[in-house]
Chains A and B, each alone.
Chain A
Amino acid sequence: MGMHSAPRPARTSAEARFRLIRSLKPAMSRTQIMITVLFVVLGFATMAAIRGNPASTLLANARQSDLVSLLDDLAQREARLQSEISRLETARETLLGGDQYQALNEAKRRATALGKLAGTEPVSGSGITIAISGNLTASTLLDAIQELRDAGATAIQISDSNLDVRVVANSWFGDSENGVTVSGTALEVPITITAVGDQSVLTPAMKIPGGLEDTVGSGGGTVTITPTDDATVSAVVPLPTS
């Protein structure tokens, strides 16, 4: 093909197009055949390279550290799923194979546990009683209750000489003429707080510097903390209807 075209760049786009078309004209020569063979190979190799490039090369190109962390993730996930499987299978077998009242008992047990938390069930067990006399404000009492909760008290009630009030999640405290108001019930000082929980944690929680004992003591009142193995929280709140 080189015979007619001068060895110079095409001057116009028409000439360029003409050259391109002429280069596509069939012409038989040894090099043309060779070029054709090369193009066959090129097409074949391109398709082979495209086909031989599955998504798995994503992993093949990943670095070793990435692969290790990937494997770790998978192993952890498998362990998590395995433990969940065994947990669910155990639960299933208990429900299916066990005593026919076992499911009911389990549900009752959970209802009781939730009832203790919600304050609809009486609770007794080891704990402390705190007798407070003298000047007591609602904010001091609130601080004391928060401190008891932080120390892990499972049930708390506040009583005066004739009334008991259970302290639950939505209890509120206010000041009244000769004592405090707890969730709308006016209590007269002296009052007694009964808390069920770990004595060895609850007692120091009341005695920390700046805690209940300090505050009431500096106001001229007295605080008596008595650990007891038979702390009884007998007051309950009515079950919410909704």
Chain B
Amino acid sequence: MIPAIGLLVGVLLGLILHPTVPLWLQPYLPIAVVAALDAVFGAFRSVLDGIFNDRIFVISFLSNVLVAALIVFLGDQLGVGSQMSTGVVVVLTMRIFANVAAIRRHLLKA
């Protein structure tokens, strides 16, 4: 419950403060957000699977974000930045869909 409120607070803060993303962060932020979303949906799934562990969640959240940003950074250095971000987003989105499907099966048995 508290994390949900935290999410709301973050969204409101973003709406109020109109943050400008620094230029060096711009390629990585969207990827990081998608990676974090993947971790969140994975957490919901593991709650329903009965294997949720908040320590693992925190670590997976942070490592997801870091690894995703790192891969895109590496792609940028190799000159395939946009293709790499596309690839990362595709993989993460597939995982999100798989997690959502598992959650749906748990909740609705369908």
Q: Which residues in A have some Cβ–Cβ distance to B below 8 Å? A: 1-2, 5-10, 12-13, 16-17, 19-20, 23-27, 29, 31-53, 61
Contacts and interface: CB of A to CB of B under 8 A. Distances in A.
Contact of A42 (B33, B54, B107): B33
Secondary structure of the B side of the interface?
Answer: helix
A41 B55 contact: no
Contact of B9 (A6, A16, A25, A43): A43
A33 B48 CA distance: 21
Contact of B14 (A1, A8, A38, A44): A44
A43 B50 contact: no
A27, A31, A49, A51: which has the most chain B beta carbons within 10 Å?
A: A49
A53 B29 CA distance: 11
Given A9-B106, A10-B48, A43 B8 contact: yes
B6 A31 contact: no
Given A40-B9, A42-B33, A42-B40, 14 more contacts: A6-B50, A13-B106, A20-B48, A23-B52, A24-B4, A31-B58, A36-B6, A44-B13, A44-B19, A45-B33, A45-B36, A47-B10, A52-B19, A52-B29
Interface residues of B, number: 46
A50 B106 CA distance: 31
B7 A39 contact: yes
A53 B33 CA distance: 13
B49 A39 contact: no
Given A16-B107, A45-B36, A7 B11 contact: no
A19 B3 contact: no
Contact of A32 (B11, B54, B61): B54
B78 interface: no
A53 B51 CA distance: 37
A23 B51 CA distance: 12
